[in-house]
Amino acid sequence: MLRRRAGGSPPPEPGLIPLTVPEVKRLLATALHYPKPPDHDTHWLTWRRRHQARARWFHQRTRLNRDYALVG
């Protein structure tokens, strides 16, 4: 389990998020209809999923940095 701290630096390798349905559809459509250079789609999907994982990390860090007032 990853421990998250407010104000910390991002992990060196944030990992990847799971494939989404639209990404799977895109992979199938491009593989069946539009041939491109080898590894073009897998490179793009890997980049996109890594970017989303990093964005998720920064989003969670921002939420941890907020001061929430307890109402009670």
End-to-end CA distance of the chain: 31
Distance CA 5, CA 16 (A): 20
Q: What is the pLDDT of residue 2?
A: 55
Are 16 and 53 contacting, i.e. CB atoms less than 8 angstroms apart?
Answer: yes
Residue 23 lies in a domain: yes
Residue 27 lies in a domain: yes
Q: pLDDT digits over 34-60, tens only?
A: 666 788 878 988 999 999 999 999 998
Q: pLDDT digits over 10-26, tens only?
A: 778 888 889 999 899 88
pTM value?
0.45
Q: Which domain does 45 fall in, by range?
A: 16-50
Q: What is the pLDDT of residue 1?
A: 47
Task: Please tell me the total count of domains within the chain.
Answer: 1
Residue 3 lies in a domain: no
Are 45 and 59 contacting, i.e. CB atoms less than 8 angstroms apart?
Answer: no
Of the candidates 4, 18, 22, the residue with the CA atom closest to the CA atom of residue 50: 18
